[in-house]
Structure 1
Amino acid sequence: MGEPPSAEFAFPGPLRDRLVAAILSGDKTATAGLLADYEHCGDPLPVVGRWAALIDSAGRRVALLETTQVRVAPIREIDEAFARDEGEGYDTVAQWRAAHERFWTGPEMSAVLGGPPVVDDDTLIVAERFRLLG
């Protein structure tokens, strides 16, 4: 069967450290990514039942995650329950969206994509829910 694929949240550094801590504490059970990022990098979309190794900023495998739900949808369809399940302290969808737009159009993601993406109501995202296996 081999090693499970890596699950890397954000880029190495303080944000990834916070996200990994939120996953390990059980606060974070969902994540969202730009479909354009998956397509640009040639990465397969997550599928229900897939296991992935959670990677910290030092490149270590710190836990195993299982994907429990995947949905590709326009960003406008994200609801408050999903925003809260991201475990980053968002009380509203507007807060969730503003933070994600800053990340997705920031310098690191723009470098990956070859320029800043357009993020509007119709932008497709990959909304994933997962559970911590250990």
Structure 2
Amino acid sequence: MTGDVWARYPHAIRGEYGDSEALCEHLVDLICAGTKTATCGALRDYEAEGSAIPAPGDIEIVLHWDDTPAAVVEMTDVTVQPFHAVTEDFALAEGENDSHAGWATGHRAYFERTGGWSPDLMLVCQRFKLIEVL
């Protein structure tokens, strides 16, 4: 079923999560279980890569660390906002922590590892629905 995923979703974007194999696979597991229904990334990374910000309706193929397809999701809502403005509802939808404080600690550490953090760091916050586990 995964072999023809790119043919079934020819306009899909690639979804790479995390900055290590262990984190990537943990996030993929959460997405495939339906626990993780949101994600965020630093706006600076989109700008540096020249990547378009996702929009509602965009289809994303979520990848394992080895770039094999794991799941297909559809973006339902996308906002750009500073780190300090992320709501508890969004933080919990990320599915990685059971509190806003836990989300903030984990995401601050991630952004510090991947280019720097500040309370005003602009984030691309995306909500999505699971379409297919591959």
Q: TM bucket by the smaller chain? A: 0.7 to 0.9
TM-superposed deviation, 1:56: 0.6
1:12/1:56 contact within 8 Å kept? no
Aligned length: 124
Corresponding position: 1:102 with 2:100: no
Partner of 2:4: none
The list of structure 1 runs, each at least 4 consecutive aligned residues, that deviate by more than 6 angstroms after superposition, is: none
Q: Structure 1 unaligned runs (5+)?
A: 110-115
The match for 2:67 among 59, 64, 69 is 59
TM-superposed deviation, 1:120: 2.1
Normalization by structure 2: what TM-score? 0.86
Deviations 1:44-76 (A, max 9, x none): 101000001110112111211100000001111
Amino acid at match of 2:62: L
Give % identity: 31
Q: Structure 2 unaligned runs (5+)?
A: 1-8
SS at match of 1:57: coil
Partner of 2:36: 28
The match for 1:71 among 79, 93, 101 is 79
Separation of aligned partners in 2, 1:4 and 1:128: 15
Corresponding position: 1:85 with 2:83: no
Amino acid at match of 1:29: T
TM-superposed deviation, 1:14: 0.4
